[in-house]
């Protein structure tokens, strides 16, 4: 059982964890923030005079080409930070380190997926000097191919250094990137191109995943052919596709005039590329994430506030220093990859390690081999990965020397105390603090987290807010609830790295985040604060599931299912799952005359993978004659969740239109 036993309206927190782990004194002695008192003093300043605090930080931490006039303009729900200021992200991540001792330090160390243990993966190291050179060259390629400041560009690449190079090159010329995770389907790529009206796509012939090749370019070709219901091309704004040769796929079709090879374009440019000074509020990137309605939300972040948040959280939460080899295992397709593989570490002049492959290919000790080989000092990964390591057994990490590690982190979902303890003992040798970091695509940077030299930790709690963050737990009437009572997690004050909106849809932004609890940002998460003020996140309370650390909107999967011709109706709910946190269970009714079959079940799973991507494939599809509905026709998800979990049906069923439906559903689950 995980701790997040799926929250719903009357949020109940089941977890009573009393263990307390103080920061090891030898860790605190050299940490950036050495004590809880020091943290509390800085926190007090940050919330009592936020503008003074953030103004000071922005001045000390970032290189500006023009100073701002005003720290914050706040017209709820629209924030503008460092108004009137100008800066460039690539300058802050690269140029500023040139001519300093960091210039020849590794910025990125990368290892590709190995074919087998005796055929090691490729290795590449890029110093700050080299990365700067590559970014300038690729920025010139982007310009040569017609990309300008403010244009949108889709990045659909595997976990290779070029993904980071591409992101930074966009920032250098002020283009807005939207990275699409390589596991997403052609349809998802097309939807994102359409919504962002992107002009260009950066992709690769293929990427490697567990020995197989993911045909990224072919998906782009398919995406560019898809049409909407009126027969219009969905992704018609794309003028250029730049293709990286990664998998050496034979006979890759290249459309003349549209498709160009990355390496050929590079040979046509030099490495001189002045950085574009960008407005502090200029959009930096768009990332699509699931919401409770069918259509993914294009969350966008801007330049100055985001970068400041990324830099500060990276430094303080990971206690980053020059000697660290820091590894965040997230893919650049997620916000964690943006903030904590690329922008945060590089803004600090740190060394960020990137790995292309999966944790269990060719063998389940892949990560521990890497830790030993590169002397990784900080490891930041997801609870779902930790649970997988636990399942594969401690013999795998035990085979390797993990003594270089000094700090561990987790993100993505609540971590169950068993997994926390295992991570602490088996990976951290009972010596490394663990930072359980709560945040979201929307928040841009870490919001609730221990500071490793300062905050005593409790397994399963993200502990206390970062500087400037004012979280609160409230009830349905927006009133703060007493300690140890569950409620909705809201953020009371604007923070520099907050989302600035949903791309092209300011009304939906207001409605989704700012209408639930007046005057506050609503996170969608359930939470409890304990007697020490520690925050315990319980999980999502909207119709969004957290499957292996990824947000998946049930409505999105439902609309993919009903787009299949033989499906009449579909309802998707979560079922607690030991490995993934939650698993997706779909209840499907079929059109008259269509008979359920194992084949159809497989076709439906494939269909969802095609529409959204493999991460959204239902784990279980149950065919039903009818779905339980209220008299007014609303599907009673509460009951479906209980059926899916195989638990006894509890609670009120008097509003159910037809009681027999439920009986048949529970019976059919035994087949």
Query: Which of 275, 287, 405 is CA-nearest to residue 337?
Result: 287
Q: Which is nearer to ligand WT7, 437 or 554 (CB)?
A: 437
Q: Which is nearer to ligand WT7, 437 or 455 (CB)?
A: 437
DSSP codes joined into one string, 243-270: EE-SS--SS----TTTEEEHHHHHTT--
Q: Can residue 331 be called a binding residue for ligand WT7 (CB under 6 A)?
A: no
Alpha helices in 145-215 (DSSP H): 161-173, 186-196
- The residue range among 6-14, 350-358, 408-416, 590-598 that interacts with ligand WT7, by the rule CB under 6 A, is 408-416
Q: Which is nearer to ligand WT7, 55 or 576 (CB)?
A: 576
Q: Can residue 461 be called a binding residue for ligand WT7 (CB under 6 A)?
A: no
Q: Which is nearer to ligand WT7, 57 or 497 (CB)?
A: 497
Count of CB atoms situated within 10 Å of the CB of 261: 15
- The residue range among 21-29, 215-223, 410-418, 469-477 that interacts with ligand WT7, by the rule CB under 6 A, is 410-418
Q: Which is nearer to ligand WT7, 324 or 525 (CB)?
A: 525
Of 413, 516, 556, 577, which one interacts with ligand WT7 (CB under 6 A)?
Answer: 413
Return the beta strands (E) in 448-607 as ranges: 471-474, 486-491, 501-502, 521-529, 535-540, 544-547, 550-553, 567-577, 581-590
Q: Which is nearer to ligand WT7, 320 or 335 (CB)?
A: 335
- Closest distance of CB 603 from ligand WT7, Å: 28
Of 164, 168, 273, 335, which one interacts with ligand WT7 (CB under 6 A)?
Answer: 335
DSSP codes joined into one string, 382-438: -HHHHHHHHHH-THHHHTS--TT--EEEE-SSPPPHHHHHHIIIIITTTTS-EEE-B
Stretch 489-528: interaction string toward ligand WT7, x if CB under 6 A: ----------------------------------xxx---
CA gap 239, 197 in Å, rounded: 11
Q: Can residue 441 be called a binding residue for ligand WT7 (CB under 6 A)?
A: yes
- The residue range among 307-315, 433-441, 450-458, 623-631 that interacts with ligand WT7, by the rule CB under 6 A, is 433-441
- The residue range among 56-64, 106-114, 243-251, 407-415 that interacts with ligand WT7, by the rule CB under 6 A, is 407-415
Q: Which is nearer to ligand WT7, 237 or 440 (CB)?
A: 440
CA gap 95, 143 in Å, rounded: 19
- Closest distance of CB 516 from ligand WT7, Å: 14
Closest-approach residue to ligand WT7 (CB): 441
Q: Can residue 537 be called a binding residue for ligand WT7 (CB under 6 A)?
A: yes
Of 551, 575, 637, 641, which one interacts with ligand WT7 (CB under 6 A)?
Answer: 551
In the numeric block, the tokens 């997994």 are attached to 419
| Residues 267 and 259 sit within 8 Å (Cβ to Cβ) | no
Query: Which of 429, 504, 493 is CA-nearest to residue 467?
Result: 493
Q: Can residue 487 be called a binding residue for ligand WT7 (CB under 6 A)?
A: no
**CA-atom Rg of the chain in angstroms:** 24
| Residues 544 and 291 sit within 8 Å (Cβ to Cβ) | yes
CA gap 541, 624 in Å, rounded: 26
Q: Which two tokens stand for residue 224?
A: 């560019």
Q: Across the strands, what pairs with 125?
A: 109
- Closest distance of CB 95 from ligand WT7, Å: 28
Q: Can residue 440 be called a binding residue for ligand WT7 (CB under 6 A)?
A: yes
Q: How many helices (H) and strands (E) does the chain have?
A: 21, 30
Q: Which residues bind ligand WT7 (CB under 6 A)?
A: 289, 335-336, 411-414, 436-441, 462, 523-525, 537, 539-540, 546, 550-551
């Amino acid at each position: 059982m995980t701790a997040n036993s799926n929250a719903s309206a009357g949020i109940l927190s089941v977890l009573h964890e009393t263990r307390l782990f103080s920061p090891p004194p030898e860790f605190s002695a050299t940490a950036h923030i050495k004590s809880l008192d020091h943290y509390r003093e800085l926190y007090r300043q940050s919330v009592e005079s936020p503008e003074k605090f953030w103004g000071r930080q922005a001045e000390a931490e970032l290189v500006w080409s023009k100073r701002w006039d005003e720290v914050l303009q706040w017209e709820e729900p629209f924030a503008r930070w460092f108004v009137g200021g100008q800066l460039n992200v690539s300058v802050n991540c690269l140029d500023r380190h040139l001519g300093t001792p960091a210039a020849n330090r590794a910025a990125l160390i990368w290892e590709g997926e190995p074919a087998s243990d005796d055929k090691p993966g490729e290795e590449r190291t890029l110093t700050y000097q080299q990365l700067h050179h590559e970014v300038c060259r690729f920025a010139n390629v982007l310009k040569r191919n017609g990309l300008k400041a403010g244009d949108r560009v889709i990045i659909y690449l595997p976990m290779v250094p070029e993904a980071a190079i591409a992101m930074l090159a966009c920032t250098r010329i002020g283009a807005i990137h939207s990275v699409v995770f390589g596991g997403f389907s052609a349809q998802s790529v097309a939807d994102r191109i359409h919504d962002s009206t992107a002009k260009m796509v950066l992709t690769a012939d293929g990427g490697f995943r567990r020995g197989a090749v993911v045909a990224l370019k072919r998906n782009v070709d398919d995406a560019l052919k898809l049409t909407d219901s009126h027969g219009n091309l969905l992704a018609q704004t794309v003028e250029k596709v730049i293709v990286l040769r990664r998998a050496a796929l034979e006979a890759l079709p290249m459309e003349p005039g549209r498709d160009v090879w990355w390496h050929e374009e590079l040979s046509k440019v030099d490495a001189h590329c002045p950085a574009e000074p960008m407005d502090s509020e200029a959009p930096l990137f768009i990332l699509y994430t699931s919401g409770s309605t069918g259509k993914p939300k294009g969350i966008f972040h801007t330049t100055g506030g985001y970068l400041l948040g990324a830099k500060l959280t990276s430094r303080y939460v990971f206690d980053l220093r020059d000697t660290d080899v820091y590894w965040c295992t997230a893919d650049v397709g997620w916000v964690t990859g943006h903030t904590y593989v690329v922008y945060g570490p590089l803004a600090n002049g740190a060394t960020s390690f990137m790995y292309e492959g999966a944790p269990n290919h060719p063998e389940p000790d892949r990560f521990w081999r890497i830790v030993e080989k590169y002397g990784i000092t900080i490891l930041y990964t997801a609870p779902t990965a930790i649970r997988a390591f636990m399942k594969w057994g401690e013999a795998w990490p035990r085979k390797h020397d993990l003594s270089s590690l000094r700090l561990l982190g987790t993100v993505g979902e609540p971590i169950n105390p068993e997994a926390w303890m295992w991570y602490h003992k088996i990976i951290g040798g009972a010596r490394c603090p663990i930072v359980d970091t709560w945040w979201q695509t929307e928040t841009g940077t870490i919001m609730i987290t221990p500071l490793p030299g300062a905050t005593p930790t409790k397994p399963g709690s993200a502990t206390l807010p970062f500087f400037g963050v004012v979280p609160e737990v409230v009830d349905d009437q927006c009133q703060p609830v007493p300690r140890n009572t569950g409620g909705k997690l809201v953020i009371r004050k604007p923070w520099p790295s907050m989302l600035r909106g949903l791309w092209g849809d300011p009304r939906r932004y207001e409605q989704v985040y700012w209408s639930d609890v007046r005057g506050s940002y609503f996170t969608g998460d359930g939470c409890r604060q304990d007697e020490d003020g520690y925050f315990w996140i319980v999980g999502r309370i909207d119709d969004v599931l957290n499957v292996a650390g990824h947000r998946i909107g049930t409505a999105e999967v439902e609309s993919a299912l009903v787009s299949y011709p033989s499906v009449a109706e579909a309802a998707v709910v979560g079922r607690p799952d030991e490995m993934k946190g939650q698993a997706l269970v779909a209840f499907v009714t079929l059109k008259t005359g269509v008979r359920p079959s194992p084949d159809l079940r497989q076709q439906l799973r494939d269909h969802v993978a095609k529409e959204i991507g493999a991460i959204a494939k239902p784990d279980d599809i149950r065919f039903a004659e009818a779905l339980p509905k209220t008299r007014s026709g609303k599907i009673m998800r509460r009951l479906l969740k209980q059926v899916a979990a195989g638990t006894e049906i509890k609670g009120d069923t008097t509003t159910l239109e037809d009681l027999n439906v439920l009986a048949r559903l529970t019976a059919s689950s035994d087949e």
